[in-house]
Amino acid sequence: MLRRLAADDRLVAIELNPDLAEHLAATLDDERFTVVHGAAADLADLAGGPVDAVVSGLPWTVMPTTDRNRTLDAVAAALAPSGRFTTFAYLHAAWTPPGRHLAAGLRERFTTVERGPVVWPNLPPAFVHLARAPRQHVSAASVSL
């Protein structure tokens, strides 16, 4: 992600595990990169202002419903009006109730939601959700969860 950023952009990673947060901060030496120890559900507070993009690898389908909804609300609240949210999901879980709830939650919170093609070589096969233009927005930086 750092290679794709413009020179004046910044990348903020939010990591719940303190040991992993410390390791990431020590490993990636780039003034545009910051690691914040915290919960993704606190994104709006941790980001320090509206962000242009959120990229997430959170395990949405195994989260308790309240945590999933709180985190999706935080993502929508943290994004700038033209912001984009990208996350992935495993194909085998897409049809389960949590997978369907995630897709519905994205549609509730974003004006545009697209599903990318299945990446069959991935084990297990996965696809990307791309959500744009949060319905509730604060009103920019990149954040990774």
| Assigned CATH class of 2-144 | alpha beta
Q: What are the residue ranges spanned by the domains of the chain? A: 2-144
> How much is the average pLDDT of 68-93?
95
Residue 44 contacts by C-beta under 8 Å, 6 or more apart in sequence? 74, 77, 78, 138
**Sorting pLDDT into bands at 50, 70 and 90, what band is 95?**
very high
> How much is the average pLDDT of 39-65?
91
pTM of the model: 0.86
Percentage of the residues of the chain whose pLDDT score is greater than 90:
75
Q: What is the per-residue pLDDT across 115-144, written as a single tens digit (0 to 9) for each?
A: 999 999 999 999 999 999 998 643 444 455
Please tell me the predicted confidence (pLDDT) of residue 26. Answer: 92
Reply yes or no on whether the pLDDT at 90 is more than 60.
Answer: yes
Residue 87 near residue 129 (C-beta atoms within 8 A) = yes
